[in-house]
Amino acid sequence: MVLTIIGPALRAINNTLSGRKPIPERKQLFIAIWFMATPDSYRSVATKFGVGKATAFRALRRVTYALHCVAPQFIKWPRDEIAVSVMERFKRSCGFPNVIGAIDGTHIKIRAPPKDAQSYINRKGFHSINVQVICDSLGRFTHVYAGQVGSVHDSRVFRNSPVARFVRLPEEYFPNDSHIIGDAAYPIQPHIMVPFRNNGYLTDRQKNFNYCLSSTRMAIERAIGSLKMRFRILLDCLPLTDIKKVPEFILACCVLHNICILQNNEMPMGIQLNLDEDNLINTHHDAELGKQKRLTIMNALRMRL
């Protein structure tokens, strides 16, 4: 199926090349998927498929670019009937209403880039790219934003992402007063629901709200874990030397992840994976509206604790 999907884009890329005829498209795809799914080096992958190291690298680049080209077909914000279906499935799972997606961030290790390497060091001390993803209740990614340097906090990644603009257009992106759900790193707004901060004095209703939100938000944690288990190179350090190509590679993995889910290819999970004022979008008014909505949801939720 994957070759059928990316075949036209891959052929177009191959047809632009001059010189030696490229290896068959199917073999290019197998090389790329093997590289993504294992921590093998280029040399190891090249030996396994009987090609040169440079050929293996070119195959990976062509396939990831082809997947990048078809990404809008498979990573799409829920709209119309699909949005209603997403909200219904989320509510059936844990009772939390009007959820159109769950949001979270993750870090992908990279080699130290030749320029501005310090800014890529995250809180754990390794070089990384910050990735923000949103998924539906089935774990399909509906939005992927990759490319921010590892030192940037999730809240700032959010403010720089397209989703920060989406919340300003609720009629288009948040039908039926829907919202995304996230952890405490994200701002409370009418279309972003986050847990009550635990100050030691939460009411039973507040604790119940946090429990229901956390149970529903597990969808994004499972999705990220599944992504990294499918494509284990994401658990290791990406050997890509061109930092500009890293977001494209991550997006390609996310496209394949969604295709796997569409094909009912489930990934069993056995592991648990772990501010510019001018750009601040969480105004006091937005926060107050978000808190009012949170209270309304809190009082309507069935007690589960």
pLDDT in tens, 68-77: 999 999 999 9
Is the per-residue pLDDT at 281 higher than 50? no
Interval 45-63: pLDDT, tens: 999 999 999 999 999 999 9
CB atoms near residue 258 (< 10 Å): 24
The answer to whether 67 and 256 are in contact (CB under 8 A) is yes
pLDDT of 136: 96
pLDDT of 13: 75
Question: CA gyration radius for the chain?
Answer: 21
The answer to whether 131 and 250 are in contact (CB under 8 A) is yes
- Res. 272 pLDDT band, cuts 50 70 90: very low
Average pLDDT in the 142-169 region?
92
Average pLDDT in the 147-156 region?
88
The answer to whether 211 and 304 are in contact (CB under 8 A) is yes
Tell me the pLDDT of the chain averaged across its residues. Answer: 88
Interval 81-123: pLDDT, tens: 999 999 999 999 888 999 999 999 999 999 998 888 999 999 8
Give Cα separations from 22 to 26, 51, 123, 233 (angstroms): 11, 11, 42, 25
pLDDT of 31: 94
pLDDT of 22: 80
Whose CA is closest to 107, among 167, 56, 61, 147?
147
- Res. 268 pLDDT band, cuts 50 70 90: low
The answer to whether 282 and 188 are in contact (CB under 8 A) is yes
- Res. 266 pLDDT band, cuts 50 70 90: low
Q: Spell out the residues 6+ positions from residue 59 whose beta carbon is closer than 8 angstroms to its own.
A: 22, 23, 27, 28, 31, 32, 51
The answer to whether 130 and 157 are in contact (CB under 8 A) is yes
The phi, psi pair for 146, rounded to 5°, reads -125, 150
Compute the distance between CA of residue 218 and CA of residue 237 in angstroms, rounded to an integer: 25
Residue with tokens 């991550």: 250
Average pLDDT in the 1-14 region?
77
Q: Is 278 helix (H, G, I), strand (E, B) or coil?
A: helix
Compute the distance between CA of residue 236 and CA of residue 228 in angstroms, rounded to an integer: 9
CA of residue 211 relative to chain centroid, distance: 23
pLDDT of 267: 59
Q: Worst-scoring range by mean pLDDT, 1-15, 30-44, 171-185?
A: 1-15
Name the strands in the sheet holding 192-193, side by side, starting at the edge strand that comes first in the sequence. Answer: 141-149, 128-135, 99-109, 179-181, 192-193
Q: Is 180 helix (H, G, I), strand (E, B) or coil?
A: strand
The reported pTM is 0.89
pLDDT of 280: 36
